[in-house]
Structure 1
Amino acid sequence: MKGDSTLWVPGTDHAGIATQARVEKMLAGLGKNRTEMGREVFLEEVWKWKDKYATNINNQVREMGASCDWTHERFTLDEGLSKNVGYTFVDLYNKGLLYRGEYMVNYSPALGSVISDIEVDYKEEEAKLYYITYFVSGSDNELILATTRPETLLADQAVAVHPKDKRFKKLIGRKVILPIVNKEIEIIGDEMVDMNFGTGVVKITPAHDPADFETGKRHGLRLDYKVIDKNGFMTEEAGIFAGQDVLTARENIVELLKSKGNLVKVEPYTHKVGYCSRGGCRVESIVSTQWFVKSSELAKKVITGYKKGEFEIVPERFEKTFEDWIYNLRDWCVSRQLWWGHQIPAYYDVKTQELLTVSLDEEAVFAKYGKENVYRDADVLDTWFSSALWPFSVLDWTPENPGELFKKFYPAQVLETGYDILFFWVIRMLLMGYEYTGQTPFKTIYLHGLILTEDGKKMSKSVGNVIDPLDVIEQYSTDALRLTCSIGNTPGNNLSFSLRDVENNSVFLNKIWNVVRFVHANIGEVTDDYSLLRAKMENNWTSFLPHEQWILSRLKSTIDNVTNGMERFNFSDAGQDLVAFTRDEFADFFIEEYKLTKTTTENGRDVLAFTLLSLLKLWHPYIPFATEELYGIVT
């Protein structure tokens, strides 16, 4: 509307875990499973599902009035984007910024895959807190610690106290006898221990707890000794408890601790437990061999750009969240045990399972090692990996030739997304953008809130409280829905969605229609030469009646307020200013005053026409369908 060249690229990602889980559930209802079907046949079914539901998503976006350039629609598994994904993986590996190693990850037994933090839902649960005695070796001293998972003590590698805790400082470096196992483990000092929580003593089980894993790394403890497998059963290392599920083993271990005099007491305890948002099962924290990106290395360029002011975050309050993450990035696990996605271009020795090479040229790999001697990694990449390349990849960028579209529109002026994926998507786009283009992918990051139910709860299909926007549009209108979502909350805050608000906005839209009908009935069609009308307002100012001068001054003030609000991404306040001017000043005062004027002058008609056309222009970003139709009526 301001004459600038713009591009809004529409598109979707392949949503690896969510899509595969949904298709597997659908196939299960038909008595099929992916293992029996095989990878190729299963993926054919996923593509069919994708084509159907991607169309639904695009229809919703179109119905909402998004002014996208649909000739540039993209999908993360498109050929061009996939080539860039493969190139990036190999390039990061060759630079030493991507590696295969062991790390603590979230594992979903139901999906059989590693999952990201965003796919873990935490629920408060009633549990038991077990207080257990660990006897200090070679003395009469004892340490009492509390745990909700006594079954993991079989894999303890140390117990920890705070190095400044006077109660235990003298014991650091000594050993305790691990109950049941009867082996010695060291007492270590670590500042992660909260002296004021519990007994001030904690067990360190690196293979079964993320915090313990980091502690274990700091102190050189064994990290891979695990007694629970990825499916929630006790391993051979669990001795007499091997093969038992976790809950059964817990009961048996508690009974054994009690009989040996190591169990001090049991208390009720409320804590949060992670569940897989897709599979519904409890998430296990396990040490697993996966592919990782050295995010902290990539972050150095992002931090430099941030300090130079090369990009801003709106609202500003999210800068603290951004800083907390960007300065403390852990290595990013990018491998997933799925079939739907970008298959990892890594090849292994059939006999030794050792990694041979990372390459995009499969034929060259077969020629070098022999096709029968190698196999390709079965895992795929985290969906966020391909999504991280989106800002430049969708502009037809390639490492050999960035292309004209990239040169014209990169970096983007604005990225708009929900605050909930600041870490998962925004930061990773920054990492890849700086690494592969040398600059920020966007100058402004605008983070909007989430749309919640009327009572402030998250919408969820499983709960059954999701509102389909197409249903709302059918009952009211797209413009009424757009108004409801854009007016009434401050930037970055959640919006409690109410159909009553949609109805009220629908009534307000009727008022705008009535205003246009009145103007059209009284002065007929008006010129669409806005510049001509504006010149008349400036040239004839002194001859205008007081109420005409007043409405023009109020219009100018409203234009300034709306422009400033939009430039600051404060669409709600800008919209509320527009509502107030349209309803209270233009419709309820000026038009009523106009009706009372016995003789309608040419000046009066010009002021009425100019004000109305200005209003339709101001309203167009909010209610494009109505304004386009109304503009056609009056001009």
Structure 2
Amino acid sequence: MSDLAKSFEPAAIEAHWAPLWEKSGVYAPTLDEKKPSFSIQLPPPNVTGTLHMGHAFNQTIMDSLTRYHRMRGFNTLWVPGTDHAGIATQIVVERQLQDKGQSRYDLGRKNFVARVWEWKAHSGNTITQQMRRLGDSVSWQHEYFTLDDKLSGVVTDTFVKLYEEGLIYRGKRMVNWDPVLKSAVSDLEVTSEEEDGSLWHIRYPLADGSGEMVVATTRPETMLGDTAVMVHPEDERYTAFIGKQVTLPLCNRTIPVIADDYVDREFGTGVVKVTPAHDVNDNAVGLRHKLPVIGVLTLDAKINENAPEAYQGLDRFAARKKIVADLEAQGFLVEVKKHKLMVPRCERTGQVIEPMLTDQWFVAMSKPGRDGKSIAEKAIEVVQDGRVRFVPEQWVNTYNQWMKNIQDWCISRQLWWGHQIPAWYGTNGEIFVGRSEEEARAKAQAAGYAGELTRDEDVLDTWYSSALVPFSTLGWPAQTKEMSLFLPSTVLVTGFDIIFFWVARMIMMTVHFTGQVPFRDVYIHGLVRDSHGQKMSKSEGNVLDPVDLIQGVGLEELVRKSTSGLRRPETAPKVAKRVEKEFPEGIPAFGSDALRLTMASYASLGRDINFDTKRCEGYRNFCNKLWNATKFVLSNCEGFDCGLKEHSKEECAPGGPFHGYMNFSNADRWITSELQRVEAAVAKGFAEYRLDLVSSAIYQFVWEEYCDWYIEIAKVQIQTGDEAQQRATRRTLIRVLEAALRLLHPVAPFITAELWERVAPVAGRKAADDQVGIVAAPYPQSQPDRIDAIADAWMTRLKDLVGATRSLRSEMNLGPQERVPLYAIGDAAFLNAAAPVIKTLAKATEVRLFTDEAEFAKAAGVSPVAVSGDVRLALHVEIDVAAEIERLSKEATRLDGEIAKANAKLSNESFVARAKPEVVAQEKQRVAEFTAKRDRLLDQVKLLGSST
């Protein structure tokens, strides 16, 4: 107790415990085949990244689950790692080069890649350091980087295997193309947002001179590659045109008019252009109608040689302006309308994405493998038969919908940073795939090719290597101990936004290569939004940094962070004003535990989270409450006889030397019963991935039951009880607190570790490893046979009685410091036994018990009487009757006004029809509550009046 700080200061505690635990190796898994196993994979954050609120949320869930199972004695492995993040990392280093007036081409591939590795060594571990601040108990000895040699070997091996099975191929397909990166990008790296645009109506004359068709388009620059115009087959306006030819403006060639159900007759004029080389849907139409494919854009989005010479070499948007001007000059432009449209942009560069036909590498999703089943088919089966379970269950529908409509997976990227594709080309385009150049040359020689080989310059999609981590990080293809114990892992905790990009692909690849599922459960959580329900985005200036919530941040720095990186810099003053209003003094240091408790409290199944720092403040207060409660318990137990010496039943039996050694009260037995209930509720919450229920159950138990009720009762028992009662009280105080700290530890590791170090020895308990403390202590398990129904009933009665007395105090406007006598009549045995506790909890100067009704009525006088079961209570207060009548009458009149206002709303048919049902219900509740309170006041006025 002597070295326990006066108040809870999280920074010093976290700085002590975090490195101690990591250095001790306690996070490393045991590898005992006789034990049950729990394992979990960290969704690998980008090596370029920093901890954001989504990370703090799902890592709180993951760490709580991990610590819980470790304390339960499981072989426990949480695998950490970071993703090499091909696009994001390459952009970071390229921008550094740009600042020096250089490009990657100036360095060449080898030197550029070396430069990226250099950046990674110095700046690439930011997020793992922040994970330590959050208290993540990952097994750091299992940490991986997706470009590590070990994982790279698995990447290459699986690529070669899939190619040899005919499940990887190279072909020309349409992809999302970033003309700045000059690379294909995945759907996850494309953000489509509504923007202001235009809808150009362009005249396409019929080639036979019999008329014209007006086409509506949002991308006039792509018309240079049109190979048809299209109408709906049932659109009577254009039936006669189907099969005819139109002249393509500006291009001096004709294209056909075709009919297809794809056309939306309500869009524009009902006539659309078909550009198979530059639109995904047009490409599908072109394949159905066997249209030619004419690409008119280069890979850097300039007009190429397939377009008229006047536009060649122009950037796509410059070409758009010139094309529109030429259309207008030549009489082809009918009109231009303002139009809202969804514009796809690369999340990394902000560039507008171009659908582009390019040669890429693909994984065949639906082609049968050697076992007769496709990769996708097997991944669907393991979810259908329950080997993989989604929590909440409705996400199965999302998974199945995507899997059953799956397209082949484009896995190549035109970058230099990443896993270079293990394919070599002959001079005539022959492809030889091998784990090394030597293996590729051997395959070439076996095929009769002896010429030069050139390696494919592309790298693999980052998602390819991350899809392998369930087994690549455990030592596959070797049959390691980790593979046998931790595959499948227990649960994957992730957001719904990567079900397709990561979850499904891990299932596909793991099942295909290992025959096992990657994980048993997939717990899908919601997104963390700001307090107003808006998605957090740096470009909007509403992002909160979890580390700032842990250590605190001043207003000036908070404003600077919020206004840097805005999509529209002109909004900076507005953003700054919002921040200053919301956080006028910046953000105080809440500490990791308070943040984690807040995140856990939000972790209900599948719901998005409107994050409010006020909840952090509430949990910081909870930590303070726990700290102060511990100080009280230690001050009353440390150095005292807490009844911890265990004695046999014979010794404690009547006549034995320790008979009467401890005398447990009903309150002692009740709080022990409550402990069993909360332990059961917590176990259920963990089993169901309901961290919100875990945190709320512990919070309610510690704050309300233990601190607000039991500690207050214990104070009385220690002051007024005999030695046996004091001994039992101290034992209950310290043992329940010690168990509560272990119960809370998975969610709030730091404060519980600090307090448990002091509490455990006094409670007669130490961890198996004194160096790591509570981390290695056993997790509390509920013992239902210790629930005492008699004590529960006694405590319920006491709570009702104290609650009734507190209501009387409120009704009589007694301040917290005002103490008056409490008169009671009823169950004499109960009241006599409970009187010392009631006196303290009800803030009474005395508890006077009556057995005669007339004497009680006379003593109570005009004071209001409360009824609790068979007990009646009154507080004796000397009052000015006339002044009290006047006060109560004024309050009753005010309530009449409130009742009238609420009834006026409810009698307004327009209000009732327009208002939400919950608003109407609230007004009705207000009327009921105001009426009941007014009636009580009037009854008291009547009573006071009769007394005069």
Relative distance call for 1:411 and 1:181 in structure 2 (3 A) is: same
Residue in 2 aligned with 1:514? 628
Structure 2 residue corresponding to 1:477, chosen from 588, 591, 600? 591
- 1:358-389 Cα distance to aligned partner (Å, 9 max, x none): 11131244465699712101111111100000
Residue in 1 aligned with 2:127? 57
Pair 1:576-2:696 in alignment? yes
Residue in 2 aligned with 1:383? 462
* Larger deviation, residues 612-621 vs 427-436: 612-621
- 1:459-482 Cα distance to aligned partner (Å, 9 max, x none): 445666544433432333211221
Structure 2 residue corresponding to 1:226, chosen from 295, 304, 308? 295
Query: Residue 159 of structure 1 aligns to which amino acid in structure 2?
Result: V
Structure 2 residue corresponding to 1:162, chosen from 219, 232, 235? 232
What SS is found at the alignment partner of 1:291? strand
Counterpart CA distance in 2 for 1:531 and 1:43 is: 66
* Conserved? CA contact 1:151–1:246, under 8 Å: yes
Query: Residue 580 of structure 1 aligns to which amino acid in structure 2?
Result: Q
Residue in 2 aligned with 1:362? 437
CA-based RMSD of the aligned residues comes to: 2.9
Residue in 1 aligned with 2:895? none
Structure 1 residue corresponding to 2:473, chosen from 391, 394, 416? 394
Relative distance call for 1:92 and 1:364 in structure 2 (3 A) is: closer
Residue in 2 aligned with 1:429? 506
| Structure possessing the higher radius of gyration over alpha carbons | 2
Counterpart CA distance in 1 for 2:243 and 2:690 is: 58
Residue in 2 aligned with 1:195? 265
- 1:201-243 Cα distance to aligned partner (Å, 9 max, x none): 32221111122122222333234x1112222211111113212
Residue in 2 aligned with 1:414? 491
Pair 1:444-2:569 in alignment? no
In the TM superposition, 1:206-605 aligns within 5 A as 206-223=276-293, 225-239=294-308, 240-296=310-366, 297-349=374-426, 351-352=427-428, 354-366=429-441, 373-398=452-477, 401-461=478-538, 466-474=543-551, 475-524=589-638, 544-597=664-717, 598-599=720-721, 600-605=725-730
**Normalising by structure 1, what TM-score?**
0.91
Query: Residue 227 of structure 1 aligns to which amino acid in structure 2?
Result: V
* Conserved? CA contact 1:416–1:448, under 8 Å: yes
* Conserved? CA contact 1:526–1:609, under 8 Å: no
Counterpart CA distance in 2 for 1:191 and 1:451 is: 41
Offset, 1:307: 1.2
What SS is found at the alignment partner of 1:226? coil
* Conserved? CA contact 2:603–2:690, under 8 Å: no
- 1:522-549 Cα distance to aligned partner (Å, 9 max, x none): 222899999989x9xxx99x97533334
Counterpart CA distance in 2 for 1:559 and 1:527 is: 27
Counterpart CA distance in 1 for 2:119 and 2:528 is: 26
Counterpart CA distance in 1 for 2:289 and 2:742 is: 65
Counterpart CA distance in 1 for 2:330 and 2:743 is: 78
Relative distance call for 1:65 and 1:186 in structure 2 (3 A) is: same
Query: Residue 751 of structure 2 aligns to which amino acid in structure 1?
Result: A
Residue in 1 aligned with 2:117? 47
* Conserved? CA contact 1:530–1:610, under 8 Å: no
Aligned residues: 625
Structure 2 residue corresponding to 1:620, chosen from 745, 753, 759? 745
Offset, 1:355: 3.2
Counterpart CA distance in 2 for 1:188 and 1:307 is: 42
Counterpart CA distance in 1 for 2:524 and 2:263 is: 35
Offset, 1:50: 1.3
Counterpart CA distance in 1 for 2:708 and 2:741 is: 17
* Conserved? CA contact 2:643–2:727, under 8 Å: no
* Conserved? CA contact 2:643–2:731, under 8 Å: no
* Conserved? CA contact 1:485–1:495, under 8 Å: no
Offset, 1:391: 0.2
Residue in 2 aligned with 1:103? 173
- 1:275-299 Cα distance to aligned partner (Å, 9 max, x none): 2222232222211111111134421
Relative distance call for 1:590 and 1:191 in structure 2 (3 A) is: farther
What SS is found at the alignment partner of 2:343? strand
* Conserved? CA contact 2:644–2:731, under 8 Å: no
Counterpart CA distance in 2 for 1:108 and 1:230 is: 8
Residue in 1 aligned with 2:870? none
Query: Residue 229 of structure 1 aligns to which amino acid in structure 2?
Result: T
Counterpart CA distance in 1 for 2:439 and 2:136 is: 45
Residue in 1 aligned with 2:185? 115
Counterpart CA distance in 2 for 1:531 and 1:454 is: 52
**Normalising by structure 2, what TM-score?**
0.62
Counterpart CA distance in 2 for 1:314 and 1:168 is: 51
Relative distance call for 1:149 and 1:445 in structure 2 (3 A) is: same
* Conserved? CA contact 1:292–1:333, under 8 Å: yes
* Conserved? CA contact 1:525–1:633, under 8 Å: no
Offset, 1:592: 1.1
Offset, 1:511: 0.5
Query: Residue 188 of structure 1 aligns to which amino acid in structure 2?
Result: I
Offset, 1:93: 1.2
* Larger deviation, residues 616-625 vs 247-256: 247-256
Counterpart CA distance in 2 for 1:532 and 1:73 is: 45
* Larger deviation, residues 80-89 vs 449-458: 449-458
Counterpart CA distance in 1 for 2:432 and 2:524 is: 40
Query: Residue 608 of structure 1 aligns to which amino acid in structure 2?
Result: L
Query: Residue 334 of structure 1 aligns to which amino acid in structure 2?
Result: I
Counterpart CA distance in 1 for 2:361 and 2:392 is: 34
* Conserved? CA contact 2:433–2:440, under 8 Å: no
Counterpart CA distance in 1 for 2:107 and 2:645 is: 66
Offset, 1:319: 2.4
Relative distance call for 1:300 and 1:526 in structure 2 (3 A) is: farther
Structure 1: segments with no counterpart, 5+ residues: none
What SS is found at the alignment partner of 2:73? coil
* Conserved? CA contact 1:230–1:284, under 8 Å: no
Offset, 1:429: 0.6
* Conserved? CA contact 2:251–2:307, under 8 Å: no
* Conserved? CA contact 2:424–2:431, under 8 Å: yes
Query: Residue 307 of structure 2 aligns to which amino acid in structure 1?
Result: A
What SS is found at the alignment partner of 1:373? coil
* Larger deviation, residues 94-103 vs 158-167: 158-167
Relative distance call for 1:384 and 1:411 in structure 2 (3 A) is: same
Relative distance call for 1:37 and 1:139 in structure 2 (3 A) is: closer
User: Percent identical across equivalent pairs?
Assistant: 42
Offset, 1:62: 1.8
